[in-house]
A and B are shown apart, each in its own frame.
Chain A
Amino acid sequence: MMFDQLFKSISEVVSLTEEELELCKSLFQPKKLRKRQYLLQEGDICKYTVFVEKGMLRSYTVDDKGNEHILQFAMEGWWMADLYSFLTNEPSPYHMDAIEDSELLMIDKGSWDNLLKHVPVLERYFRILIQNNLIATQRRLMGALSETAEEKYIKMMRIYPECIQRVPQHMIASYLGMTRETLSRTRSQMSSKKG
């Protein structure tokens, strides 16, 4: 059903009344996105913060040489947005598109403010979401600065095993900040060590 994942995510942190759940339903825009369809392109303003009910999205930049640099993946139960663009109406440097056919729930800034005003308990939900994101971002930054290719890959297998299974290898490489050849070599070396 359309709001299953969102309500499951919310209920893990806070409890909402039936009335509050109905208000949620009235403020989110359901959107189906096909594989490879864009949600956001560089230069657009990120007008929505997006919850993934089904499927997978990615956000990334493209450098002047045409190389993609993936910032984030978002699968079922995850949120995605360029928060800076969403909050300030400044153009985003990111592209966002679907890696798989996806079902999304999107909420714009006005509706989000409205939701938080009338369901104040959701402030706690979003606060915990943002603090978890900050912690994960700090850890990822430290990993990017100090870990070997193998350590990065092992960490990703441990924390996001489903991503490893569903996302193409060249995108995993981009996310980990390495070339696909380096990732391929790293995986080979790991297989050899096991054997």
Chain B
Amino acid sequence: MEPPFFCPNFVMSKMKEMAVKKTIAIIGEIQGKEKILLQLVKNYRLLWITKEEDPYFDLSQSLIRELPEAELEIFACAKEGCWEADIIFLEVHGIEMELIEKIREVATQKIVVVLGMADDSVPAIVNKLLLVQEGFPYSKIVEVYQEPEIVVVGKDPVAVEYVKEIVQNLELSYEIEP
């Protein structure tokens, strides 16, 4: 793209490598994901969306106490959390029409990452993914699942690359399928 009709000669005081920290909204249970959470929180602001009656609510509160400098918050309202988020992580098991309807409007043009589980049966995943594709027509859906390597797929190549970068930085012991 050609520069516009003027070309300001900016004097940049300092070129900083630090970019604005992106916000990830995570909807789902925390159990078994503490290690991932601790790694994600180094580079991202995390909004964990969970109900107070969630059995792992106390666990998530203790994580907040362990990492006082980290930007990690608990949200009860999925819509508010996803509105603030740049990227939304959804667990396959947690996908229901009610949730999709709540957050559809605020998920427009955002990356929505669907996390599959190692023990999910294929038909169960397929049904949930169809629900997501129909429920978020204007979002960038990226699927992450294990097979046995971590697989990252989606229609938007930029979104897929971005999610691969997030997953790679998690120092998982799996290979990322190219």
Contacts and interface: CB of A to CB of B under 8 A. Distances in A.
A103 B108 CA distance: 14
A91 interface: yes
B16 A43 contact: yes
Nearest to B106: A30
Contact of A87 (B4, B16, B105, B106): B4
Contacts, number: 75
A43 B8 CA distance: 15
A165 interface: no
Q: Give the bracket for the number of chain B residues in contact with chain A.
A: 20 to 34
A28 B108 contact: yes
A64 B14 CA distance: 8
Contacts of B138: 26-27
A73 B14 CA distance: 23
A83 B7 CA distance: 11
Contacts of A39: 20
B19 A44 contact: yes
Nearest to A130: B4
B108 A32 contact: no
Given A41-B18, A44-B19, A61 B13 contact: yes
Contacts of A88: 1, 3-4
The 4 nearest A-B residue pairs measured at CB = A29-B109, A43-B16, A26-B138, A32-B83
Given A41-B19, A103-B83, 11 more contacts: A26-B108, A26-B137, A31-B86, A32-B80, A38-B20, A39-B20, A42-B12, A84-B4, A91-B12, A93-B12, A93-B13
